[in-house]
Amino acid sequence: MTKQDRAVRTRLALIRSAAGQFEARGYVQASLAEISAGAGVSSGALHFHFANKAAVAEAVEHAAARALRRAAARGRDGDGCALQRLVDVTHQVARLLCADSVVRAGLRLNAEAAAGRVRDLRREWRECVDDLLAEAERQGELAAGVPPHRTGAVVLAATTGIEVLAREDHGWLARPSLTDLWQLLLPSLAAPHLAGALDPAGTRPGHVDADHAETGLSLANTL
């Protein structure tokens, strides 16, 4: 292993450890000593990579943002029924949150603006939802009288609520929770010709991609 690879691996270990601390204790209570200890490195090694706690939190937030944006992009930029892709991307993001402590911690830091936002990730999620609903309207997938913008607000509120509740109980991120949500919403959203054609449980495989699992980080995207 090269010196550069070792440095990158140390940085990744610090980000993972920091995410665990931020998720469990919050930004204020997390300490640099505990972060370095959790990563198995000295405090000097931590300060080689990060000037202070805010810099560590910013790195966690950046890593989470990358993973969430990739998940959202796969739904927004795909082919086929836009409403089904909206259902699928909510399940994908939920699986990512369930599997990845860095994503959970980064989203919480972003919402609390603890380290100065990379960008408002909730706004980005709203944009993803709105884009897919606008596409669904163009393709004639929405029932008559369904306003895409107001519908987007409902989806945003429901999915954000699930994410907040999941901070105490990850069961909220399980597939049945989102399936129940979509079973309630789809009959009122979808055009009649789509009745029975949409799967509220999602059509994508029930796993998180390997490059997203446990941090969504890799040597390549950290260099």
Question: Per-domain residue ranges for the chain?
Answer: 64-222
Give the pLDDT band (50/70/90) at residue 76.
confident
Residue 221 has pLDDT above 90, yes or no: no
Percentage of the chain surpassing pLDDT 70? 89
Distance of alpha carbon 9 from alpha carbon 3, whole angstroms: 10
Q: Which residue did the predictor score with more confidence, 211 or 155?
A: 155
- Residue 87 contacts residue 80 (beta carbons within 8 Å): no
Instruction: Collect all residues with Cβ–Cβ distance below 8 Å to 210 and sequence separation of at least 6.
Output: none
User: What pLDDT score was predicted for residue 117?
Assistant: 58
185: which 2 tokens?
Answer: 């919403």
- Taking alpha carbons only, the member of 53, 124, 128, 119 closest to residue 87 is 128
Distance of alpha carbon 41 from alpha carbon 173, whole angstroms: 33
Instruction: Collect all residues with Cβ–Cβ distance below 8 Å to 51 and sequence separation of at least 6.
Output: none
User: What pLDDT score was predicted for residue 214?
Assistant: 43
- Residue 38 contacts residue 60 (beta carbons within 8 Å): no
Distance of alpha carbon 219 from alpha carbon 8, whole angstroms: 6
User: What pLDDT score was predicted for residue 71?
Assistant: 84
Give the pLDDT band (50/70/90) at residue 111.
confident
Give the pLDDT band (50/70/90) at residue 116.
low
Mutual orientation of helices 32-39 and 53-76 as an angle, nearest 10°? Answer: 60
Buried b (16+ CB within 10 A) or exposed e, 119-149: eebbebbbebbbbbbebbbeeebbeeebebe
- Residue 64 contacts residue 175 (beta carbons within 8 Å): no
The CATH classification of domain 64-222, taken from the options 3.20.20.140, 1.10.357.10, 3.40.50.280, 3.40.190.10: 1.10.357.10
Q: What does the pLDDT average to over 87-93? A: 93
Segment 125-176, tens digit of pLDDT = 999 999 999 999 999 999 999 999 999 999 999 999 998 898 888 889 889 9
Collapsing DSSP states into helix, strand and coil, what is residue 142?
Answer: strand
Collapsing DSSP states into helix, strand and coil, what is residue 190?
Answer: strand
